[in-house]
Each structure stands twice: as C-alpha cells, then as structure tokens.
C-alpha cells in the first residue's frame, strides 16, 4: 500500500514539475489610451480574447497620462499572443442611487466615453498581440467613429 502511495505521489509531482517547466505563453504588453488626443486616466482597460485566442484575457488601469501595463486575470504580467476585443470600465464608479445595476449608463455619464467602448460585446476596438508582445496605442473618438488601435511590436534583442 505504501509503495502505491509513494509511486502515486512521485507520478503526481513529476507531472506538476513538467507542467511548470512550460512557458506560460504570456508576452509583455503596455500602452496608452487617448480620447480626442487627451489621455484617458483612471480607466480599467479590458482585453477580452476573440476568435481562436486562448486564455482569459487581461486588465490594467490607466495612469494620469493614459498609460497602462496589462496583467493577466491570474496575476501574470502580460497577455497571450492573439486577437483581443478592447473595452473600458471606470476604475472608480460609484453606484447610482436610481439604478445600481446601470453600470454602463453610469460609466458613460462619468467618463464621457461613448457606451460602445464600455461593452465588451459591442466594442469596435480589436488588437492583435504579436509574438514577443509590444506597445498598444488605443485612439478613441467621442463619436465612436474612427477609433483604432496601433501596435508597435517589442524589439528583439
């Protein structure tokens, strides 16, 4: 009985160690968000996997200059290579007394961002993260038209 238990533990630890040796597939990604040329500050940036992209996505909060560094939902720094939908949510939205469930409406009033950017299902913003990661520039417009993302791949050393 002890031999079986010891063998089972040995196999389990071996599988665990082998799994830890693999790379996470996560690459470093940072960037900047602007609205009509002005930095968008204190906003949560949400990268939601699209298409065949694996993983759970990543989030960040913009600073006073609109800059952010993505963190995976499991705490890793960065995001997996692939295609993402980009949406936003205010980092400090208070509940509205008239309708606490109306977070999109409250967010739009509080941020001045068109509601289309606040909905991960309707956002027009897409970005393809390349191997090695990079810097993402998110350019928003008040009308919601002409908004875009630009990626500068990280330079290879």
From 90, 99, 85, select the one nearest 138 (Cα to Cα). 85
Q: Closest Cα to residue 127, out of 77, 83, 81?
A: 83
Model confidence at 74, pLDDT cuts 50, 70, 90, reads: confident
pTM: 0.74
DSSP string of 47-97, one letter each residue: EEE-TT--S--EEEE--TTSEEE-EETTS-BSEESEEEEEEEEETTPPPPS
Of the chain, the percentage scoring pLDDT greater than 70 comes to 71
Give the pLDDT confidence of 38-61 residue by residue, as tens digits. Answer: 999 999 999 999 999 998 899 999
pLDDT value, residue 14: 35
**Considering the chain, what is the average pLDDT of its residues?**
79
Q: What is the mean pLDDT of residues 72-101?
A: 79
SS3 41: coil
Tell me: pLDDT of 8 over 70. Answer: no
* Tally of CB atoms within 10 A around 124: 15
Contact status, residue 54 vs residue 80, Cβ threshold 8 Å: yes
Question: Distances from the Cα of 56 to the Cαs of 11, 27, 67, 71, 150, in angstroms?
Answer: 29, 14, 22, 11, 22
pLDDT tens for residues 120-153? 999 999 999 999 999 999 999 998 889 999 999 9
């Amino acid at each position: 009985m002890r031999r079986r238990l010891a063998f089972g533990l040995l196999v389990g630890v071996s599988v665990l160690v082998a799994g830890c040796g693999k790379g996470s597939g996560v690459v470093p990604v940072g960037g900047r968000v602007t609205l009509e040329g002005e930095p968008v500050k204190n906003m949560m940036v949400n990268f939601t996997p699209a298409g065949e992209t694996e993983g759970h996505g990543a989030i960040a909060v913009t600073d006073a200059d609109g800059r952010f560094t993505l963190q995976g939902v499991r705490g890793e720094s960065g995001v997996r290579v692939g295609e993402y939908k980009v949406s936003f949510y205010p980092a400090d939205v208070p509940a509205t007394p008239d309708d606490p469930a109306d977070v999109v409406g409250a967010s739009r009033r509080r941020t001045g961002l068109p509601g289309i950017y606040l909905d991960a299902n309707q956002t027009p913003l897409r970005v393809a993260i390349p191997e090695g990661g990079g810097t993402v520039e998110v350019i928003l417009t008040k009308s919601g038209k002409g908004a875009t993302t630009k990626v500068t791949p990280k330079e290879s050393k």
